[in-house]
């Protein structure tokens, strides 16, 4: 019995040493707590766990933002003691997407994994030199560098310390545009009806016609709205349009409507358009540029394996392909009355109209469009909806020319 009491006493003593509430309510309110390693947290608590506030590390670093299950989470700011600054999102206690500004003036904007550069991003040094493309474990990938240096329809020209994409050569054949655009607000029955998906699709299609009138007229396009957007009609349109394209062309598939893991939901919702089937259409064409855009719940699952599809991220890393999805695999996509559109489609079209042209070269690339849209959507939805992108040659896929 004495041994048991001693163990209990040691456990209580250990608990009190681990952390100490300096002031306020450190259980379910606002307070300040210190930890034995010298770190401190000031902010709100829930069930004794950090919820939102400022966490100061022993080395002088400081994190300001939210916590989830004890880890950093959501849109936050991390100030390093050495003067570096990170502004962006944390997921599972690690950087996910944001901007890292170094004390010397260099800055990186893009995706992270394991707290280092991973995925699509841009690095601009203090002299203005820009590197844009894919990063792997903190280093610019050789494959992305090869794509940047290759001569293609949209050339990369280096002059001095800046990198810019020149206009498409007049001597080269301008790509024809082939598009299937789908928007469904009025579903079969009434329980699945949406408000603005058909409007999203019409606005996207209208932008294509105004931004690339000659290219679209030279190709083939089909707009399917509401009851016209059955699974049979979508499949027929994909087959007809994509089979008509050639190696010099640009093919686009846009979908706005309901989505579930591994599929998009057509008008007659008994069976979905499987992500794997859609990717097979894109694999079957020889088109130079390929774009998939979807504004649908769980659309990011197009890059994950699941029980209904063998989809994976790997088969989306094609140098001719850009896949821009409105939300992560486990997130819903929202439409809002004050915008009269889906949040993602609203900012996507704004970006295509020129707001995403970050280097002001009069072209909006897939990479630029994604960065603009992701920032705007994430901010507008308080991180409840974060767009995702898949592809390799994103900086070389020109989506629109700004007039």
pLDDT at 396: 66
Phi, psi of 111, deg, nearest 5: -90, 155
Closest CA to 291 of 277, 278, 306: 278
Cβ–Cβ contacts within 10 Å for residue 143, how many? Answer: 15
pTM of the predicted model as reported, rounded to 2 decimal places: 0.61
Helix (H, G, I), strand (E, B) or coil at 197: helix
Cβ neighbours for 53, distance < 8 A, ≥ 6 positions apart:
41, 42, 43, 44, 64
Given the DSSP bridges, would you call strands 162-165 and 156-159 parallel, antiparallel or unpaired? antiparallel
Six-digit token string for 345: 């489609």
pLDDT at 154: 26
pLDDT at 255: 97
Helix (H, G, I), strand (E, B) or coil at 384: coil
Q: Which CATH architecture has domain 177-401?
A: 3-Layer(aba) Sandwich (3.40)
Q: What is the DSSP secondary structure assignment for residue 393, as one 8-state letter?
A: -
Q: What is the DSSP secondary structure assignment for residue 188, as one 8-state letter?
A: S
Below-50 pLDDT ranges, the chain: 1-16, 144-173, 305-314
| Residue 27: C-alpha distances to residues 44, 52, 69 (Å) | 9, 13, 14
pLDDT at 142: 57
Give the CA-trace dihedral at 199, 205, 209, 211, to 10 degrees: 90
Cβ neighbours for 79, distance < 8 A, ≥ 6 positions apart:
61, 62, 63, 64, 85
Cβ neighbours for 249, distance < 8 A, ≥ 6 positions apart:
175, 176, 177, 178, 219, 287, 288, 289
pLDDT at 307: 34
Give the helix/strand (H/E) hosting 157: strand 156-159
pLDDT at 297: 93
pLDDT at 11: 41
For 259-280, give one letter per residue: b (16+ CB within 10 A) or e: bebbbbbbbebeebbbbbebbe
Helix (H, G, I), strand (E, B) or coil at 20: strand
pLDDT at 395: 63
pLDDT at 143: 52
**Assigned fold of 18-165:** Outer Surface Protein A; domain 3 (3.90.930)
pLDDT at 264: 95
Q: What is the DSSP secondary structure assignment for residue 196, as one 8-state letter?
A: S
Residues of the chain with CATH 3.40.50.1460: 177-401
Q: How far apart are CA 54 and CA 74, in angstroms?
A: 14
Give the CA-trace dihedral at 23, 25, 27, 32, to 10 degrees: -40
């Amino acid at each position: 019995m004495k041994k048991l009491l001693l163990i209990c006493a040691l456990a209580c003593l250990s608990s009190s040493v681990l952390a100490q509430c300096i002031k306020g309510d450190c259980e379910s309110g606002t307070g300040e707590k210190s930890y034995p390693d010298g770190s401190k947290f000031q902010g709100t608590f829930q069930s004794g766990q950090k919820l939102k506030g400022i966490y100061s590390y022993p080395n002088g670093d400081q994190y300001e933002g939210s916590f989830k299950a004890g880890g950093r989470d959501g849109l936050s700011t991390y100030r390093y003691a050495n003067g570096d600054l990170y502004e962006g999102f944390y997921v599972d206690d690690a950087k996910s997407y944001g901007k890292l500004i170094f004390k010397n003036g260099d800055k990186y904007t893009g995706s992270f994994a394991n707290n280092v550069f991973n995925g699509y991003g841009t690095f601009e040094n203090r002299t203005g030199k820009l590197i844009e493309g894919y990063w792997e474990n903190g280093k610019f990938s050789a494959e992305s560098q090869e794509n940047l240096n290759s001569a293609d329809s949209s050339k990369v020209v280096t002059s001095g310390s800046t990198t810019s994409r020149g206009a498409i050569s007049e001597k080269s054949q301008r790509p024809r545009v082939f598009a299937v655009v789908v928007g469904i607000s009025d579903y079969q029955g009434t329980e699945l009806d949406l408000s603005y998906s058909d409007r999203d699709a019409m606005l996207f299609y209208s932008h294509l016609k105004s931004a690339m009138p000659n290219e679209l007229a030279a190709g083939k396009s089909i707009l399917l709205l509401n009851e016209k957007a059955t699974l049979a009609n979508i499949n027929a349109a994909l087959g007809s349009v994509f089979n008509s394209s050639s190696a010099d062309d640009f093919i686009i598939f846009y979908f706005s409507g309901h989505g579930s893991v591994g599929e998009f939901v057509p008008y007659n919702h008994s069976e979905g358009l499987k992500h794997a089937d859609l990717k097979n259409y894109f694999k079957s064409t020889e088109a130079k540029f390929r774009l998939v855009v979807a504004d649908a719940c769980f659309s990011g699952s197009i890059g994950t394996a699941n029980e209904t599809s063998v989809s994976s991220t790997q088969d989306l890393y094609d140098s001719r392909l850009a896949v821009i999805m409105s939300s992560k695999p486990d997130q819903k996509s929202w439409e809002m009355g004050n915008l009269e559109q889906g949040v993602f489609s609203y900012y996507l079209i704004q970006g295509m109209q020129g707001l995403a042209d970050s280097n002001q070269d009069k072209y909006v690339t897939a990479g630029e469009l994604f960065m603009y849209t992701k920032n705007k959507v994430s901010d507008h939805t308080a991180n409840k909806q974060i767009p995702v992108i898949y592809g390799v040659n994103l900086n070389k896929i020109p989506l629109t020319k700004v007039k």
